[in-house]
Structure 1
């Protein structure tokens, strides 16, 4: 019997489509796919392909075998098998391609069959078997450990109303379209200025690990980062952002709440943006039916407002209000809350009222605590990002899994710079230079610092100014500040590149921002509202001007109701400007901001000491007294600003110079004396970094010489100091140079 032409053409197209689908599977996933093809997974009594034929079959041969065996039902069998191995994203993609639609999926099941309603796929791990569904229905929404994990409701619990389902389907399409527009472009390093860059073109994968706890880490974030890539105590499990909510080996239940930790600038926000974009573009996590991304910055300005959960979603995502969706329990919903460390809501999990009705109005704080604890909308999934120091704001029993963004690995750093610099020779030169400085190479684990470094090195190579490429953190940040002053001078003042870049106006702006940086750093604030600016003597209008001029240093983000939020582009930029403020204040007025106590008449006894010597020694002491090392990087910048070479780069901003070379020698010796005391390894490490900022590597050189001579007995270091030196000497540089 002849095969009708239209059937033959359809099978031919299905065959090509299935082959492309199998190409999206990794090798081990493809083996799983073949393993699930025998009878256990076959619907409607389809016969199985003999194992001996599948065992060594590649993708093309497997497709041929499937078409020969299942004929018109090949796609139905493939869909069932993909679902059996939790490849729902590929199921979704396959159906979408079959429908020929540009943005919406088709619910095609094989030979012309259509689903009766546009309900979305079952969640991973659920079954369409009636007995399994019945069992799942009884446990749907039940939580263990205060909402830590849950079994998602199966599709049969969703509304069967064709009209409601169609409305929800259209709402989902509109939400995805709007999220695509919102997240498809990024501003690298800055908020709302500069050239638009497509996220998919510049995005570089980050190293993310699964495991750990939600406990607070009080260490300075640079110190955390310095230990992040050391050999861990136990094997780490790397995880892709798109796989966070997928079932994995050893995890029978899906996780309800994921907390992702990471230091400032490590890429947490961009990570959530990429997740949202991939979902909106029908690439990943299509078992999630609605994704609602929030930032705590947005929620902070609603502190005094009252909403129900439905009203809050309607307020931020008007598509849901237009669709008349007033309940979310029948959908698989993901809430993303980015920036817990910026939250200014109390989040009182112990004393807040209990709330279970999504339509009941209350404060945003109460909404969040009940949503996170699982008493409100327990079927929802949550993803919370935070810096480590704020992780303990969420009770541990409300978190199902903790992941940590550790930034770029060494190969990822190189990938970033090769994307940034298309000239292969230039990119290789910059990568080689970065490897010669342990400080800079280490800091480049942070994506924002990679951007700062690229900005500086690009300018140095372009203009030929500033001599050799900067090798210390202080020199790098001074160059960065100078680059921004040049941009401001050329763009807003109409000046030429050769004109002095520190005009009185620019100097005043930077001095005001430096004061803000220091005063807010003392309070632990990294984002600033109008009240914070007023306390520092900056009105809201001036702040907007600053953010518009120095766009790559200070940024403004207009939130709801036109309330404005400001921040520095990165914590280290704030710390550098804070150190600059302390330095400028001491130069101009003789006031040491590191001394809180008032000077007594007995201070006359110390007049024999040079002012600058006492200034730096007090700063070293203050940093060592800090229980969590929060002044470590600040101290590096402050000491680095004492070098005449660095001060010359700031000529025009610094009206008069500061310390002398003799002062620096005294400071170096003071630090060496401190290292000889019995300090903890992390304190010793930071003091070595401080010596590096002062261009002193004598201890390292002495140790290297002793190592080469085979004699270490004359080097007097405690075990803690040896630990610090070992870490420094084993840094992955071909040329140690400044460590």
Structure 2
């Protein structure tokens, strides 16, 4: 054996040693899932509880800035047969007919949908030798940690600091071996990723700021042979130039069977698991939110405790009730675990929740989901107090040689941040009005009406869920649950009735369908289902066609009908307008339902060019999943036919069958 062969053999053996050390540490780090709790909380083996997520290939390249709960509600109405699901471990495998190798995968998904858990499972399977064994080294580089690195350093130095097991690797080894970088949480990135103007870099030993290293890695200037996986919430995904992304995937969370599988795996008692699944199915809003794995965890934590014991409290049916019980549960947990007491100290709990709520509200206004120690200090929060409030606030920190990584905080999920922000708003405004006993109702009603207007003015619905929680928390029944935290209730039936009347007035003014839909969710939180009940007869009380024949609906009732249809368990895969009424007005009023369908039958429904234009505009405004459209026996006119032709030429159009 000559010297070169000997050196190669030795290097291969050393590589195997470094690889094993890295695998061992990553396996130790990722084999347990703490489901919302921080390091000192209880955890479960990931392989025992992991439920395969619904991940789809492709998806629209358009940026969706809508509130993520709106996006979840849209996904929940979509038949699952439309996209091909792919296994998390196969995201770098080219699909049939695709020749080019995949270097960079961008995975989108709303907050809490399971992107980080998918990353964790991918790494764990690699460390255990189950998948992707052609990859020699996987380096996780989460953005929330990269944000904390201020100084200039080379890519090799960066990896040596974060992953010390491989510091003996030579710079050339990174090009000789198959290396993968995983950048989790692009939406949490506080670095300025300037793909246009950042200087070009191709040497792994050359120092630069972290943002310059990242842009050059992503553009392929640095280590073009490396594989890159980037995860992001939808609104931030467009930071990466499309030409740098070779495969776009989307995490859809749990489909309906997977939701049930999660509860059966998570809850040891099979009969209790079945009762919980039945209860979740009985509330459409809870069932829709269970697309998000974190919400399944919250629901399991609350319902296992409430339904597993002979508690007299009412089982939560609305989002506000579920989150209220979750907060109480976590407050009791904190008291027992860290203070050694079994009774909640109302003043201490109130102080902590007000501090967390202030942080939640201020950071929600800024659009931040993660925050650092200086953010906490601004909100008057004791960092040590937050670190033990494990169910509500998560803390991740590490200190390594050469890098002084600080502490990063986040709420377990955006919805928990929104709930606490709403609670803070209610508590702080009630305290401001303590001296107005005789006219107390007026300030509270004014607050709620102002927040309704604020949510309606938001283009993308970013205050939708906050408003639902605020209205739900204004109910006396929910405030009674929180009596250990609230000093007094700040509600009455008059306030709720007046607020509900104001929301109904806004529905009559006929804002966009999406906004009307959220207003109906708001009425549900106020336990007012009167408008829904008025139209329920047309959905379930009548059978056959022309259910609306001879019926004159108000604008509010049309909106209610849309809400009921979109939230019913009835399959929206195929929508036949003749079931309701053969008229253009019916088409225009039910457009949101039509947008959610895959097959649309408008045969003989007296559609003119006006209806045709509105239909096509609706199908274009949202990435449409329409595959079949029957417009026969209508009069769309020349302009309608031209619009249809243009639609067929649109690359995002999935229409396969068109009858005119």
Contact 1:372-1:382 at 8 Å conserved across structures: yes
Query: Partner residue of 2:239?
Result: 393
Query: Partner residue of 1:102?
Result: none
Query: Partner residue of 2:191?
Result: 345
**How far apart are residue 215 of structure 1 and its match?**
3.9
Q: How many residues align?
A: 556
Query: Partner residue of 2:319?
Result: 473
Which residue, 292, 302, 307 being the options, matches 1:461?
A: 307
Q: Find the residue that maps to 1:329 and give its secondary structure.
A: helix
Which residue, 114, 134, 137 being the options, matches 1:267?
A: 114
Distance in 2 (alpha carbons) for counterparts of 1:260 and 1:659: 44
User: Could you give the per-residue CA deviations for residues 581-601 of structure 1, whole angstroms, max 9, x where no partner exists?
Assistant: 10001110139xxxxxxxxxx
Contact 2:77-2:566 at 8 Å conserved across structures: no
User: Could you give the per-residue CA deviations for residues 239-298 of structure 1, whole angstroms, max 9, x where no partner exists?
Assistant: 111000113202111111100011111111110010001011111111112111111011
**How far apart are residue 677 of structure 1 and its match?**
2.1
Distance in 2 (alpha carbons) for counterparts of 1:218 and 1:687: 19
Distance in 1 (alpha carbons) for counterparts of 2:311 and 2:268: 22
Query: Partner residue of 1:167?
Result: 14
Q: Does 1:407 align with 2:250?
A: no
Contact 1:680-1:720 at 8 Å conserved across structures: no
Which residue, 535, 554, 570 being the options, matches 2:378?
A: 535
Query: Partner residue of 1:29?
Result: none
Q: Does 1:716 align with 2:563?
A: no
Contact 1:214-1:391 at 8 Å conserved across structures: no
Structure 2: 5+ residue stretches without partners: 573-660
Q: Which runs of 4+ in 1 moved over 6 A?
A: none
Q: Find the residue that maps to 2:229 and give its secondary structure.
A: strand
Contact 2:108-2:232 at 8 Å conserved across structures: yes
Q: Find the residue that maps to 1:237 and give its secondary structure.
A: coil
User: Could you give the per-residue CA deviations for residues 553-597 of structure 1, whole angstroms, max 9, x where no partner exists?
Assistant: 011111342511111111110000000010001110139xxxxxx
Q: Find the residue that maps to 2:82 and give its secondary structure.
A: coil
Contact 1:558-1:564 at 8 Å conserved across structures: yes
Query: Partner residue of 1:554?
Result: 393
1:107-126 equivalence runs, <5 A: none
Structure 1: 5+ residue stretches without partners: 1-115, 118-157, 592-603, 734-739
Distance in 1 (alpha carbons) for counterparts of 2:442 and 2:348: 33
Which residue, 501, 504, 512 being the options, matches 1:669?
A: 501
Q: Find the residue that maps to 2:200 and give its secondary structure.
A: coil
Query: Partner residue of 2:139?
Result: 292
**How far apart are residue 661 of structure 1 and its match?**
0.3
Contact 2:532-2:560 at 8 Å conserved across structures: no
Instruction: Tell me whether 374-383 or 456-465 shows the greater mean CA deviation.
Output: 456-465
Query: Partner residue of 1:191?
Result: 38
User: Could you give the per-residue CA deviations for residues 596-647 of structure 1, whole angstroms, max 9, x where no partner exists?
Assistant: xxxxxxxx9xx89822222111111100000110000000000001111101
Which residue, 476, 500, 515 being the options, matches 1:644?
A: 476
Contact 2:113-2:291 at 8 Å conserved across structures: yes
Q: What TM-score do the two structures reach when normalised by structure 2? A: 0.81
Distance in 2 (alpha carbons) for counterparts of 1:246 and 1:263: 24
Instruction: Tell me whether 233-242 or 551-560 shows the greater mean CA deviation.
Output: 233-242
**How far apart are residue 165 of structure 1 and its match?**
2.3
Contact 2:520-2:560 at 8 Å conserved across structures: no
Which residue, 384, 393, 410 being the options, matches 1:544?
A: 384
1:241-320 equivalence runs, <5 A: 241-302=88-149, 304-320=150-166
Query: Partner residue of 2:213?
Result: 367
Distance in 2 (alpha carbons) for counterparts of 1:160 and 1:672: 78
**How far apart are residue 214 of structure 1 and its match?**
4.5
Contact 2:536-2:564 at 8 Å conserved across structures: no
Contact 1:546-1:554 at 8 Å conserved across structures: yes
Distance in 1 (alpha carbons) for counterparts of 2:22 and 2:488: 57
Contact 2:263-2:277 at 8 Å conserved across structures: yes
Distance in 2 (alpha carbons) for counterparts of 1:706 and 1:213: 35
**How far apart are residue 159 of structure 1 and its match?**
12
Query: Partner residue of 1:220?
Result: 67
Distance in 2 (alpha carbons) for counterparts of 1:630 and 1:439: 18
Distance in 1 (alpha carbons) for counterparts of 2:196 and 2:6: 35
Distance in 1 (alpha carbons) for counterparts of 2:538 and 2:526: 23
Higher radius of gyration, 1 or 2: 1
Contact 2:179-2:227 at 8 Å conserved across structures: yes
Instruction: Tell me whether 724-733 or 283-292 shows the greater mean CA deviation.
Output: 724-733
| 1:703–1:553 Cα change, 3 Å | same
User: Could you give the per-residue CA deviations for residues 178-234 of structure 1, whole angstroms, max 9, x where no partner exists?
Assistant: 221111112112221322311111111100000024543210011111111333699
Query: Partner residue of 2:458?
Result: 626
| 1:430–1:553 Cα change, 3 Å | same
Q: Does 1:510 align with 2:353?
A: yes
**How far apart are residue 462 of structure 1 and its match?**
4.2
Contact 1:260-1:404 at 8 Å conserved across structures: yes
Q: Find the residue that maps to 2:141 and give its secondary structure.
A: strand
Query: Partner residue of 1:65?
Result: none
Contact 2:517-2:559 at 8 Å conserved across structures: no
User: Could you give the per-residue CA deviations for residues 658-707 of structure 1, whole angstroms, max 9, x where no partner exists?
Assistant: 12101111111111111122222211111110011001111111111344
**How far apart are residue 433 of structure 1 and its match?**
0.3
| 1:217–1:163 Cα change, 3 Å | same
**How far apart are residue 331 of structure 1 and its match?**
1.4
Contact 1:199-1:274 at 8 Å conserved across structures: yes
Distance in 2 (alpha carbons) for counterparts of 1:531 and 1:391: 27
Q: Give the superposed CA RMSD.
A: 2.4
Q: What TM-score do the two structures reach when normalised by structure 1? A: 0.72
Which residue, 161, 184, 203 being the options, matches 1:357?
A: 203
Which residue, 566, 570, 576 being the options, matches 2:419?
A: 576
